[in-house]
């Protein structure tokens, strides 16, 4: 199968909206949404995979088998993912998850296809498109860290993990947006702007690896890489129904990742399945002379993640519920309840669940974070080692205004550090040792395989609002591995994750526990805003009509439902009575055992024709899909409304 270049259209066609869109849908006109070109990078191509192979939600083993069977090529996979990026990153829900695409991706994929034909596959990542967070050095692409100060900076070589991925045959399709310089958890930057959550584009995607999280959730690649200094892999994983591991400090090298705090920084993948995560980890962990932390592997066997996957891993496992991290605020209750429900399911799968306390917990993590103490100096060292770096320090960035205003306060506080060898660093290091000893001792005493708590205690905040509820610090302080496991969805359709924390270098055991939960309960659900493409393009809105009665009057409402943007376009036409007798049309949501009030007003008094657009929130969209939204016509003859008419999307 070949992509048809003649089908490619750059930019967007003239907009059909309001009445024009409704008329077009009513007459059966097929509307082809515009495919925006992301940040000057490769255009997206319309692609339909052969014999039912589809990149939407496809796992790495699925894609690898399709290539092995000759049903698809690596080039076609690149094209298919680029088509999804074109449809949904700048168009549709406008996730804004990608900073730039790799202009050499198709050529690299073609070379790997040729190599496969001649010598076979290198391994499970051969020809698989992947995404890198834009703080990973990629030798032939700029590395910006989300900062306009570094937007054109080309690093001299690949980061350690990027090099390992290239050796494994992966194709880097592009680089994802991130919270600027990795210093936050809502993913906004001066280069990439604000990334949106595909489960609800009005909400943030977590961070700082929120671009990777959103892109992987939306199937813009098979798997993606992030970094975690305090929650930056795990929070986006929780917000996107993904698996994300903060590995034992030293299991993976941080060489070539723009630092935030070299003591706390780790790098690693986020994935839709535990198996995909295991494949990504196996390819990128290991010793590296450039990262002293990886010396911990010198006398220890390197974990083998795929080999350790075990669907029965929960049977007989002892899991300690760290109740202190569940929170007691009203906003914490929803996630706490869902994590408790997930623990009940783990118990059903054979795990023993016990509530526990860690001695001295109230002060255990206090003063243990090093981000504010190390960032200024670590960034100076990184820039000094990068030829032709456009700036040399955090002060340069601040003095020239090369940052997003949302970060000004936190960046200036870091820039105020006066000494590299601040006494507070030594005290923090001592506290970190104390915390690690206390946690491991508790696990040993109670014979626990893992500790568990919500990855983040609160739902994804609306864009522009602060994000609270992070439980990131325990793993970041102790250096112990922590895995975010998808557990389900809130009533608003927002994902929730639980975090499993384990002993040093027991990362593979943690993932085995997550894999067992996944196999037993299948928590993965794709976001509705980024559905499968149809012949390489986003699905067009669905048209349907409803007629509501009110005495002698009738209101015919023509709808166009755009599942991608959760927008309900409508046009109302009245008949049967004079305009003066029309009071309006209301959209209601049904409530248990009673009629719900007006959710949206579609028209007011005295009109013969009314039109508009409604963007439904996650709860309202779910109600529409369930058939819980109703219309009611109000007239002078039927002032309390006529019969309620259900909206039913075909």
Out of 190, 208, 261, 529, pick the active-site residue. 208
Q: Kindly report whether the peptide bond that precedes residue 403 is cis, defined as omega within 30 degrees of 0.
A: no
Out of 189, 232, 414, 566, pick the active-site residue. 232
Angle, vertex CA 364, rays to CA 361 and CA 365, nearest 5: 120
Euclidean distance between CA atoms 399 and 184, whole angstroms: 21
Euclidean distance between CA atoms 603 and 585, whole angstroms: 5
Instruction: Write phi, then psi, for 544 (nearest 5 degrees).
Output: -160, 160
Euclidean distance between CA atoms 517 and 429, whole angstroms: 35
Residue 453: strand, helix, or coil: strand
Q: Give the contacts of 301 (CB within 8 A, at least 6 positions apart).
A: none
Query: Which strands form 243-246's sheet, in the order they lie side by side?
Result: 98-101, 171-176, 129-133, 223-228, 266-271, 243-246, 482-489, 495-501, 450-454, 318-322, 352-356
Residue with tokens 């005495």: 551
366 among known catalytic residues: no
Cβ atoms of residues 623 and 647 within 8 Å: no
Closest by Cα among 279, 288, 347 to 319: 347
Q: Given 3-state DSSP classes, what are the helix, strand and coil percentages for the chain, each rounded to the nearest 5?
A: 35, 20, 45
Packing angle between helix 60-68 and helix 74-88, nearest 10 degrees?
140
208 among known catalytic residues: yes
Euclidean distance between CA atoms 153 and 142, whole angstroms: 5
CA distances from 432 to 188, 247, 267, 456 (A): 30, 17, 20, 21
Residue with tokens 């994983």: 237
232 among known catalytic residues: yes
Cα four-point dihedral sign 336, 326, 215, 617? positive
Q: Give the contacts of 32 (CB within 8 A, at least 6 positions apart).
A: 9, 13, 537, 540
The alpha helices in 219-272, defined as continuous H runs, are 234-239
Where does residue 592 rank: exposed (0-12), middle (13-18), buried (19+ CB within 10 A)?
exposed
Residue with tokens 């039913």: 648
Euclidean distance between CA atoms 403 and 181, whole angstroms: 9
Out of 133, 164, 175, 249, pick the active-site residue. 133
Residue with tokens 């639980």: 498
Euclidean distance between CA atoms 422 and 417, whole angstroms: 8
Packing angle between helix 274-284 and helix 507-521, nearest 10 degrees?
160
Kindly list the catalytic residues: 133, 208, 232
């Amino acid at each position: 199968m070949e992509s048809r270049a003649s089908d490619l259209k750059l930019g967007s066609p003239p907009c059909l909206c309001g009445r024009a869109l409704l008329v077009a849908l009513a007459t059966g006109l097929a509307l082809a949404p515009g495919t925006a070109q992301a940040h000057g990078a490769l255009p997206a191509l319309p692609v339909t995979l052969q014999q039912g192979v589809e990149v939407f939600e496809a796992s790495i083993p699925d894609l690898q088998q399709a290539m092995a069977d000759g049903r698809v090529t690596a080039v076609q996979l690149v094209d298919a993912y680029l088509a999804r990026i074109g449809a949904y990153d700048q168009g549709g829900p406008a996730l804004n998850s990608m900073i730039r695409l790799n202009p050499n991706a198709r050529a690299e994929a073609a070379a790997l296809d040729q190599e496969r034909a001649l010598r076979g596959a290198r391994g499970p990542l051969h020809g698989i498109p992947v995404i890198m967070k834009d703080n990973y050095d990629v030798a032939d692409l700029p590395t910006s860290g989300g900062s306009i100060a570094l937007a054109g900076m080309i690093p001299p070589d690949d980061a350690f993990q990027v090099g390992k991925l290239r050796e494994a045959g992966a194709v880097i399709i592009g680089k994802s947006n991130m919270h600027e310089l990795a210093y936050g958890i809502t993913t906004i930057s001066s280069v990439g702007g604000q990334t949106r959550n595909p489960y609800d584009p009005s909400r943030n995607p977590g961070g700082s690896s929120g671009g990777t999280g959103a892109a992987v959730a939306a199937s813009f690649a098979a798997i993606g890489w992030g970094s975690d200094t305090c929650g930056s892999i795990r929070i986006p994983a929780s917000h996107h129904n993904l698996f994300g591991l903060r590995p034992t400090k030293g299991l993976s090298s941080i060489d070539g990742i723009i630092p935030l705090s070299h003591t706390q920084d780790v790098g690693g993948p986020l994935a839709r399945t535990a198996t995909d995560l295991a494949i990504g980890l196996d390819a990128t962990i290991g010793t590296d002379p450039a990262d002293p932390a990886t010396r911990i592997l010198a006398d220890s066997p390197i974990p083998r993640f795929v080999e350790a996957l075990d669907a029965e891993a929960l049977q007989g496992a002892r899991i300690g519920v760290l109740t202190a991290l569940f929170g007691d605020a009203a906003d914490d209750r929803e996630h706490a309840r869902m994590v408790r429900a997930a623990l009940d399911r783990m118990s059903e799968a054979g795990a023993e669940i016990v509530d526990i306390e860690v001695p001295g917990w109230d002060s255990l993590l206090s003063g243990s974070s090093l981000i504010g103490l190390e960032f200024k100096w670590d960034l100076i060292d990184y820039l000094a080692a990068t030829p032709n770096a456009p700036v040399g320090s955090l002060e340069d960035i601040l003095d020239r205004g090369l940052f997003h205003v949302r970060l000004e306060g936190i960046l200036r506080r870091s820039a105020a550090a006066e000494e590299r060898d601040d006494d507070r660093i030594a005290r923090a290091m001592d506290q970190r040792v104390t915390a690690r000893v206390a946690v491991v001792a508790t696990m040993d005493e109670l014979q626990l395989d893992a500790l568990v708590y919500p990855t983040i205690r609160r739902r994804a905040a609306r864009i522009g609002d602060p994000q609270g509820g992070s439980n990131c610090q325990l793993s970041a302080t102790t250096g112990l591995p922590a895995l975010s496991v998808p557990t389900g969805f809130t009533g608003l359709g927002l994902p929730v994750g639980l975090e499993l924390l384990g002993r040093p270098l027991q990362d593979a055991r943690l993932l085995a526990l997550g894999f067992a939960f996944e196999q037993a309960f299948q928590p993965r659900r794709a976001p509705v805003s980024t559905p499968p493409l149809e012949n390489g393009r986003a699905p067009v809105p669905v048209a349907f009509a409803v007629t509501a009665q009110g005495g002698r009057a009738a209101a015919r409402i023509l709808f166009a439902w755009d599942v991608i943007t959760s927008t309900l376009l409508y046009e109302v036409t009245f008949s049967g009575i004079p305009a003066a007798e029309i009071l309006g049309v209301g959209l209601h949501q049904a409530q248990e055992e009673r009629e719900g009030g007006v959710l949206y007003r579609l028209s007011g008094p005295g009109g013969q024709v009314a039109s508009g657009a409604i963007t439904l929130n996650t709860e309202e969209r779910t109600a529409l899909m369930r058939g819980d939204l109703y219309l009611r016509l109000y007239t002078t003859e039927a002032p309390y409304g006529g019969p309620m008419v259900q909206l039913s999307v075909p």
